[in-house]
Amino acid sequence: METLYIAATPSSPEVNFDFGQHQLSIRGESYPENAAAFYGDIIKRLREYLANCTKTRINVDISLAYFNSSSTKMLFNIFEALNSAVDAGNEVILNWYHYEEDDTILEFGQELHVDFPEISFFDRPVKTA
């Protein structure tokens, strides 16, 4: 399956889903005007990829400095798809990057870990310069 790459904009994150390497990454800030439109094709392509995975180790790096409430809903859709992939026999490793002092992003990651315990969750604090 072809890599899905979307360059970051001031209001949307960089999305780099290298399906061939089983390496998925979302980085930046996420507050697009229409989150459903921005994430719709991303989620569709992710689900197509996951449907073809069997006993696969999938690495996911999420590094979002900010995301709004409509992006939160779309992120939950992504994690639901990843959780289903675990239920289907795959291994999902989620690296959750956040600035050390950013309790909001940290707490959201911890919430994800509680909501989707089958996903191997790793908290990755990042020091600010």
Instruction: Assign 127 a pLDDT band (cuts: 50, 70, 90).
Output: confident
CATH at 59: 3.30.750.24
Residues 20-67: tens digit of each pLDDT: 999 999 999 999 999 999 999 999 999 999 999 999 999 999 999 999
Buried b (16+ CB within 10 A) or exposed e, 82-95: bbbbbeeebbbebb
Bridge partners of residue 58, in order along the sequence: 92
Q: What is the pLDDT at residue 128?
A: 74
The three-state secondary structure class of 9 is: coil
Range of the domain at 36: 4-126
Q: What is the pLDDT at residue 129?
A: 62
Question: Per the structure, how many domains does the chain have?
Answer: 1
pTM across the whole model: 0.94
Burial class (CB in 10 A: 0-12, 13-18, 19+), 98: buried
Residues 88-97: tens digit of each pLDDT: 999 999 999 9
Q: Tell me what the pLDDT averaged over the chain comes to.
A: 95
